[in-house]
Structure 1
Amino acid sequence: MIKKLLALLLVLNAVLSYAETIKTDVLVIGGGASGVAAAIQSARSKVPTLLIEQGPWLGGSMTAGGMCILEANRKNPAGIFAEYRNHIRKWYKPRLGYDTTSNAPLVFEPSMGASTLKKMVDTVKNLAVKLNTGFTAIKKDGNGWEVSITQNGQTDIIKAKVVVDATEFGDVAAKAGAIFTSGFDSRKDTGEQLAPDNATNQIQDISYLAILKDYGRAADKTIAKPAGYDASRYTCLKTQDIKKLLAAARLPNEKYLINWANCGNQYSVTAEDLQPENRADTYNKARLRTLGLIYFLQTTLGYKNLGMAEDYPTPDKLPFIPYVRENGRAAGLIRMVIDDIYSPYNRASQLYRTSIAVGDAMPGQFYSEERVPHINYPPFPAYGIPLGSIVAKDMENLLVTEKSLSVTHLVNGSITYPSIQMTLGQGVGAAAAYCAFFKTSTKNLNVRVIQQEILDYKGIIMPFNDIATTDPDYRAIQQVGASGILQAIQKANGNSADVLFMPDSSVKTADIQPMMIEMYARAFLWFNKEKPGEVFTLGNLLSYISEMNLADPQTLQKTMAASWKTKYKFTLPFDVKRPVTRREFAVLANRYFNPFARRVDITGKLIN
């Protein structure tokens, strides 16, 4: 007995001595689209960062899950997402037929997408990456966190100042004790008129996507009949134009993404089905649903030449993980509601001022359960994602992303789209780096400093569809837009709505006066004295700048006239009597009285 105890003690001592304690400033758990972007931005912000991912690939839903046709944010590609997009396009550009027009969806093979992300992270200083590394536990460690991970059968400890939960299901925040909700919110709970009367736990279907390849007319790539195969599940496909479905989801190298609704490869779930103890069983059933679809396509519909591509080294060639559209949503410092998208300027909270990323995807409603409410969204505009939605409530220095943001169900259907998550990840990384770099916590976030960091790295905070990141006045327009002095205009365009800055249109006095008076005490006196007309002139703007800066009006006018086309590159003539354009106002306001410098709190209210 004594010998056995001694042997056991020796083994335990060996294990404990081999376990490693790793220290880092920022730990990102989950290598999906948002996790990779968050880790890259945090490291670029000169903060030591560690990214761990339980699987063998980076990219989450868009690579390991196969969602490799990205339509969202193509009008607003910026920052890290734009880098990724450019790398993919550069690789495929020589291939005949690859669409590189400015607003084309981003299309790629999953393996190519994953290898591109790996190359990107490998070039970033201050960033370490661990693949095939699982997360097991988290607990508070002073102002930071202590996280347990497993790799190659070994358990290690990571001590981090800030943790980002970028897992598919919010597992980290859940284990830390964050409060979650799932399914439809009720109208009474959120105040959203589009919400149903009653809450429900139903969430959007998951889908095991499939990548098929055309092996030629003579090939027979028919798979074995899947267990429990029931052809009746797929009979609605007999009335579909299969060639059209395939053409709409064509990938490079004669491949196709199979992501079909109705009787395709969607699998109905509730949040309970995706709890850790139920996932394996749910995944298995979803895989069989997709394999049944492929078998039906090959046999009943006669497409035996379409076989499983070799992108994934799994036994059945399906992706490593299913495409999960939503799960639980963590309680945050604020909760973003659908009215923050449709009416950002007409609310008590001014969350648009705290935006750290943008999105524009039409909310998905992928339900095979017939009794689920259908939401009739009005034309859907691009929107800003507020900083407070990524900060877990009462969980200091814990940030959430992917499916766990503090938003309502109606918002969630858009915000979890992979290209939006990659854009958001950059903002998350900037927020995490802020806390670590300044040795502070999520209780003391400085919205403007975080937004400045995002813009420093060519990110985006305001969703102006008509102002490209390459525009020479991009930054000034972004900053003045975030102040609220010049507000965006929404114009319906089919099911969506363009969000426009309209740089060449004239500034209306009524549009800018309320916000300027709110921001600057002396503005009230100036408006009462000058009484500008309906349209704000260039002369009015120069007069206001003189008032704010105590500059001599004549000297300012001479200086401005001399630098009008040389320094500012304005195209219209310098004429103090004509209406000032929104572009001119934004550039000069940003330069001379800088409304963006006015600090705001987490709700967007001005801090006096």
Structure 2
Amino acid sequence: MARKQVIVDKKYDVIVCGGGTSGVAAAIASARGGASTLLIERVGALGGQLCFSGPPGFAFAHLFNPKGEQDAAGIIQEIHTRMLKEGHALPHLKPEHRLEGGYTFSYIDPDWFALTIFEMMEEEGVELLLHSLVVDVVQDGNKVTGVEVENTNGTMIIQGNIIIDCTGEGDIAVRAGALSEYVDKKTVQPHTISFTMDGVDWKELMNWIHKNPDQIVWFEHTLPHWSEERKEQAHQKALEFYKTCDDPALFGEIMGFTEFHKKGLETGEWHGCSGVGFFLTPREGGHIQAHMQHSSQVPEVLTDNAWDITKGEIVCRKQNILALKFFRKYIPGFKNAYLTRLCPELRMREGRRIMGDYKLTRDDVAVGKEFSDVIGKSHFKAGAHHTTDQNTIAQVEKVCPSDDGSYDIPYRCLVPLKVENMLIAGKHVSTDRDAYLRYLHQTMITGQAAGAAAAICVKKGISPRALEKNVSELQSTLKKQGAILDGTT
């Protein structure tokens, strides 16, 4: 029997492919710009890595640069403020021993985030099409005019003026003929399946940390260009924090447990593909849980190969079984801890990068480069690549702005080469490998910009590439939506 094809008779101004962090931000911004907006998502949940496959709860991190200036806001800040008011988030956590390294946390409850996003879709008038996979585009030459979708209805053809690829892997942009870059199998960052544990005796754990601060690894609290003296001062500040702090929520993350880790490697009770540790996830009523984001890491999995992805799903679950048993046996306070959440699918750290009219580079990050077509800012290090060894983070030379400030993200990174009427947002925007904008606050920044740009293009009757000639209205729109484009160093 032939597959049924359905031609949807409604044409949308903007179609957003993918309902992860970039996709929901894009859809909200597009709808606020007056565009009829359809968001298509392959599963029944919105929010992607923030509530479905990644690091729930702490992921609104890095909103403040090392100088203490907020350089990421807009829809991100709006959601945090809303959830904080409703009791589903904690205030911005800026621990003194980590703030100078630009590492801050803005905790949210992941399940309430998922519910909040659905509320916002309804409030903004975004139309949703869930349990639907965008498999191809409809084109007139190099102009994208719609998408092809597979779901229980059959094959659906839906027309749109502007298509935004927020798939995370750039699948739709590639099908449209966009150019991409990717690493090889030996180089690609490992992927993971996260899980969360509750029932932790936090008092027991804190007492152990106070007595064994040298067993905790406090990475990501210094900057690469600091002098050795300044780094040592930061280490001493962190050491004092671990000796005296009684509130685990203030830690943000607790990594290391170096002697236990060594023991697990010797006995085969730890898989050896990552270090040991966890992040903190807030739940209702001020409760916190331990979220294991790095307890499974699988190498040599390319995200454009379903066989590889399948291997990753299998291997990570095996590693997680080891990790659960290891935590209960060795880590103080975890004897009676239990599994409360296993993310249902692989968190894919590194995939294709779609090449656009500009490629953000490692050198741009290092000098804190400014662009006239800025649509957002970041300060996160270039070159921070995960590895499958006990260090978790590769020991490579990382760079960040030498003045401890921020760098600009240009609009041209969102406009794919060789394709018209399309924008890209999320971790696959146009960068070199080191400048990869894969962190969730960065994906929401590019998502919001893409959605706002798409609405303006529809209103003006121009292509996203034509908008590059004058981005002043886009920048004004983003600022009205709370985005930070200037005012930081």
TM-score category of the 2 structures, normalised to the smaller one:
0.7 to 0.9
- Does structure 1 retain, via aligned residues, the 8 Å contact 2:360–2:430? yes
Alignment partner of 1:210 is 2:240: no
TM-score by length of 1: 0.60
CA distance in 1: counterparts of 2:22 and 2:28, whole angstroms: 10
Match of 2:250 in 1: none
Q: Please give the residue correspondences for 1:157-306 in structure 2 after superposition, counting only pairs within 5 Å.
A: 157-183=157-183, 202-214=187-199, 232=268, 234=270, 245=277, 249-253=280-284, 254-259=287-292, 261=294, 264-270=295-301, 272=302, 274-299=304-329, 301=331, 303-306=334-337
Q: How far apart are the structure 2 equivalents of 1:60 and 1:269?
A: 23
**Is 2:375 the counterpart of 1:356?**
yes
Which digits, 9 at most, give the CA deviation of each residue in 1:252-277, with x for residues without a partner?
Answer: 2544343355xx3222235x354234
Write the mapping of 1:48-447 to structure 2, written as runs, cut at 5 A. 48-67=36-55, 68-69=57-58, 70-74=60-64, 75-92=70-87, 98-100=90-92, 105-125=105-125, 127-141=126-140, 143-183=143-183, 202-214=187-199, 232=268, 234=270, 245=277, 249-253=280-284, 254-259=287-292, 261=294, 264-270=295-301, 272=302, 274-299=304-329, 301=331, 303-309=334-340, 317-343=341-367, 352-363=371-382, 364-368=384-388, 374-377=396-399, 381-412=405-436, 415-445=437-467, 446-447=470-471
1:8-47 Cα distance to aligned partner (Å, 9 max, x none)? 6xxx59x44x653441111100111111111111111111
Q: Residue 73 of structure 1 contacts residue 361 of structure 1 at CA under 8 Å; is this kept in 2?
A: no
Task: Rate the CA distance shift 1:360–1:257 in 2: closer, same or farther, 3 A.
Answer: farther
Note the residue ranges of structure 2 that are not aligned, 5 or more in a row.
65-69, 96-103, 203-263
- SS of 1:135 mapped into structure 2: strand
Instruction: Output the CA distance in 1 between the equivalents of 2:283 and 2:108.
Output: 7
Range 31-40 or range 376-385, more displaced: 376-385
Is 2:476 aligned against 1:452?
A: yes
How far off is 1:124 after superposition? Answer: 0.2
In the other structure, the counterpart of 1:5 is none
Following the alignment from structure 1 to structure 2, what is the Cα–Cα distance between the partners of residues 388 and 461? 15
Q: Do the aligned residues in 1 keep the contact of 2:273 with 2:296 (CA within 8 Å)?
A: no
Indicate conservation of the 8 Å contact 2:146/2:157, yes or no: yes
Contact 1:214/1:255, CA 8 A, preserved across alignment: no
Q: 1:53–1:260: structure 2 CA closer, same or farther, 3 Å change rule?
A: closer
The one-letter code matched in structure 2 to 1:129 is: L
Q: Which residue of 2 aligns with 1:41?
A: 29
Distance 2:76 2:269 in 1: 38
Amino acid aligned to 1:322: L
The code of the aligned residue for 2:130 comes to: L
Q: Distance in 1 between matches of 2:47 and 2:421?
A: 24
**Structure 1 unaligned runs (5+)?**
1-7, 184-198, 218-228, 310-316, 346-350, 466-498, 500-608
Q: Give the superposition deviation at 1:284.
A: 2.1
Q: Structure 1 residues 47 and 329 mapped into 2: Cα distance closer, same or farther (>3 Å)? A: same
Give the corresponding residue for 1:348.
Answer: none
Q: CA deviation at 1:202?
A: 1.2
Distance in 2 between residues matched to 1:366 and 1:37, nearest whole Å: 26
Structure 1 Cα separation of the partners of residues 23 and 440 of structure 2: 11
Q: How far off is 1:161 after superposition?
A: 1.1
State whether residues 269 and 326 of structure 2, in contact with CA within 8 Å, keep that contact through their aligned partners in structure 1: no
Deviation at 1:365, TM superposition (A): 2.2
Give the drift of 1:304.
4.2
Identity rate, percent: 22
Deviation at residue 215 of structure 1 after TM alignment: 7.2
Contact 1:344 1:352 in 2 (8 A): no
AA of the residue aligned to 1:387: Y
CA 1:323–1:405: 2 relative to 1, 3 Å = same
CA deviation after TM superposition for structure 1 residue 428, in Å = 1.0
1:392–1:399 CA contact under 8 A, matched in 2: yes
| CA drift at 1:293 | 1.1
Give the aligned residue type for 1:234: W
1:433-464 alpha-carbon deviations (Å, 9 max, x no partner): 122211111331122222122123222223x3
Residue type at the aligned position of 1:367: T
Note closer, same or farther for the CA distance 1:22–1:295 as it changes in structure 2 (3 Å cut): farther
- Pair 1:265–1:277, CA change in 2 (3 A): closer
Instruction: Give, in whole Å, the separation in 1 of the partners of 2:23 and 2:272.
Output: 38
Paired amino acid for 1:71: A
Whether the 8 Å CA contact 1:250–1:257 is kept in 2: the answer is yes
What is the identity, as a one-letter code, of the residue corresponding to 1:407?
Answer: T
Equivalent residues of 1:22, 1:157 under 8 A apart: no
Distance in 2, Cα, partners of 1:92 & 1:269? 41
Per-residue CA shift, 1:449-506, capped at 9, x if unaligned?
22122123222223x34xxxxxxxxxxxxxxxxxxxxxxxxxxxxxxxxx2xxxxxxx
Query: Which stretch shifts more, 277-286 or 47-56?
Result: 277-286
Between Structure 1 and Structure 2, whose CA radius of gyration is higher?
A: 1
Match runs of 1:521-600 below 5 Å? none
The whole-number CA distance in structure 1 between the counterparts of 2:329 and 2:198 is 16
Amino acid at match of 2:113: G
Aligned AA (1:116): T
| 8 Å CA contact retained: 1:208, 1:265 | yes
Q: Which residue of 2 aligns with 1:574?
A: none
- The 3-state SS of whatever aligns with 1:416 is coil
1:519-568 deviations in Å (ceiling 9; x for gaps): xxxxxxxxxxxxxxxxxxxxxxxxxxxxxxxxxxxxxxxxxxxxxxxxxx
| Cα displacement string for residues 70-119 of structure 1 (whole angstroms, at most 9, x for unaligned residues) | 312242342211111112212227x9xx4456896221232111111111
Change (3 A) 1:430 1:151: same
Task: Provide the C-alpha distance between the structure 1 equivalents of 2:281 and 2:34, rounded to a whole number of angstroms.
Answer: 40
Local SS of the residue matching 1:123:
helix
Kindly state the Cα deviation for residue 301 of structure 1 after the two structures are TM-superposed: 4.8
Instruction: Tell me the residue number matched to 1:545.
Output: none
Partner of 1:106: helix, strand, or coil?
coil
Q: In the TM superposition, what is the alpha-carbon distance from 1:237 to its structure 2 partner?
A: 11
* Partner Cα separation in structure 1 for residue 270 and residue 420 of structure 2: 48
